[in-house]
Amino acid sequence: MTPDLLIVGAGPAGISAAIEARAHALSVLLLDENAAPGGRIWQALEARGAQDQDDAGGLQTLHAFRACGANARWCAGVWAIEPDDGTVFWSQAATAHAARAAFVLLCTGATERPMPLPGWTLPGVMTVGAAQIALKTSGLLPTGATWIAGQGPLPMLYAAQTLRAGGRLAGILDLSDGIAPLRALRHLPAALRNSSDIAKGLAWRRAIARAGVPWLSATALRAQGDGVLQRITFRAGNRDRSENADLLLLHDGIIPSVQITRALGCAHLWDGGQHCWKPKVDAWGVTSLPNILVAGDGAGIGGARAAALSGRIAALYAAQALGRIDVATRDAAAAPLRAAQARQRALRPLLEALYAPRPRLLDDAATVCRCEEVTAAQIRDAASLGCLGLNQLKAFTRCGMGPCQGRMCGSSAAEVLAAARGVPVAAIEPYRTRFPTKPLTVGELAAMATE
């Protein structure tokens, strides 16, 4: 099988790209690690049904995707891409597979920014996104001694969703910078181009207040317990507090998943507004490698609707490059998508200023690399011995060398190292990621089937 377009990831960007590509008669192969399409935002939406206007739009896109004629493979984890000829390798049902595509479109989305704090490795500490996935796929709701801590739109959305569904929360710890709203104010006029999303955020806040859930501005959060989370301590209103907790949900924004683009050797840029690395792409999503494209949050955080638009734009590029449409048709089709994209992105500078990640004054004892159990103190020690970047840090400490391959520590290890060296985070060399970017058994490899 040699599809015209091979798409990795079935979130809003991936499935929108598939629909657009099929409309121009491209053959499409789509791979996703999950059992069904939707990505995070539309996860299990086909099974649970639409709850609101946004869901209804998502469901419509999912139906269009199911009917578009794209070849989709589920529970299919991509572990390597050969950029020279566009061969993509993945594992599915204990067998490795490979297929060569004219264009590869990566729609691998984002992950929550790691938020290390003392005790965050205890069972019972999860991310807000993780709890939201449990809600969407399995209808799980918090039962009471649940605290949410961090900042950004997702904690508010999750709290509102879970309260509406009958869940109970002990409280929300707002770890954002108290003066951030003042700094963000100058972005408000531009953000009003997307006033519906602002209205949504304010409605979430009202729902949380109506439910009587305490909202506390806090610092110095720690998770504690004997083998499992039992309580949290924090500082709020000028006093130290200790509260019972059996579930702590953390969130500090989301950052692009760059494992595959890094391993491919694509050029990356530091995004100062979003405080993260992202692959360098042109207006069509083309990376520094001519046959590799990125659409959606994986190319910089823009949200679900912007992601869907960028997926369609990337598909138009592939359709023109493969001679299915001419340049004028492509450009005419892309123009309204770009205009809609600009409206969606209008909100980002306000959000970025409101929820800029706080400088992490990490406790020496806090684990930064969860896999290899490397603490902030060990990273600072390495810096004092002359360690300059993350690849040297591997040799000094094994930081980033466990099964998650640096996904959970890359950004925070870089911050600790940068602070210790007194340089900007962007000056710290990031992990040199290598394929396979997901674990692969010898048995899977031996059973390789070429499509």
Partner 1 sequence: MLARPDTDSLTIYLDGEPLGARAGDSVAAAFLAHGIHTMRRTPVSGAPRGPYCMMGACFECLAVVDGEPGVRTCLAPVRDGMRIERQDGAHSLPHPP
436 binds partner 1 (CB under 8 A): no
415 binds partner 1 (CB under 8 A): no
Task: Kindly tell me which residue out of 25, 56, 202, 228 binds partner 1, with binding defined by CB under 8 A.
Answer: 228
Tell the smallest beta-carbon distance from residue 41 to partner 1 (Å): 12
CB 318 within 8 A of CB 312: no
Q: What is d(CA 361, CA 214) in angstroms, rounded to the nearest whole number?
A: 25
Host H or E run for residue 160: helix 153-164
Task: Kindly tell me which residue out of 34, 87, 91, 287 binds partner 1, with binding defined by CB under 8 A.
Answer: 34
93 binds partner 1 (CB under 8 A): no
13 three-class SS: helix
**262: Cα separation from own chain's centroid:** 15
Site string for partner 1, 243-272 (x = CB under 8 A): ---xx---------x---------------
146 binds partner 1 (CB under 8 A): yes
Buried/exposed 269-307: b ≥16 CB within 10 Å, e otherwise: eebeebbbbbbebeebbbbebebbbbbbbbbbbbbbbbb
CB nearer to partner 1: give 197 or 372. Answer: 372
Continuous H helices in 24-98: 45-48, 53-66
CB nearer to partner 1: give 272 or 439. Answer: 439
Tell the smallest beta-carbon distance from residue 372 to partner 1 (Å): 6
40 binds partner 1 (CB under 8 A): yes
Residues 6+ apart with CB under 8 A from 138: none
Kindly state the tokens that stand for 177.
Answer: 């910078």
Render 214-272 in DSSP notation, one character per residue. Answer: -EEEEEEEEEE-SSS--EEEEEETTEEEEEE-SEEEEEE-EEE--HHHHHHT--EEEET
403 binds partner 1 (CB under 8 A): yes
- 287-316: which residues touch partner 1 (CB under 8 A)? none
231 binds partner 1 (CB under 8 A): no
375 binds partner 1 (CB under 8 A): no
Task: Kindly tell me which residue out of 407, 412, 414, 419 binds partner 1, with binding defined by CB under 8 A.
Answer: 407
Q: Which residues bind partner 1 (CB under 8 A)?
A: 33-35, 40, 44, 47, 75, 77, 94, 111-112, 121-127, 129-131, 133-134, 137-146, 227-229, 246-247, 257, 370-373, 402-404, 407-408, 439
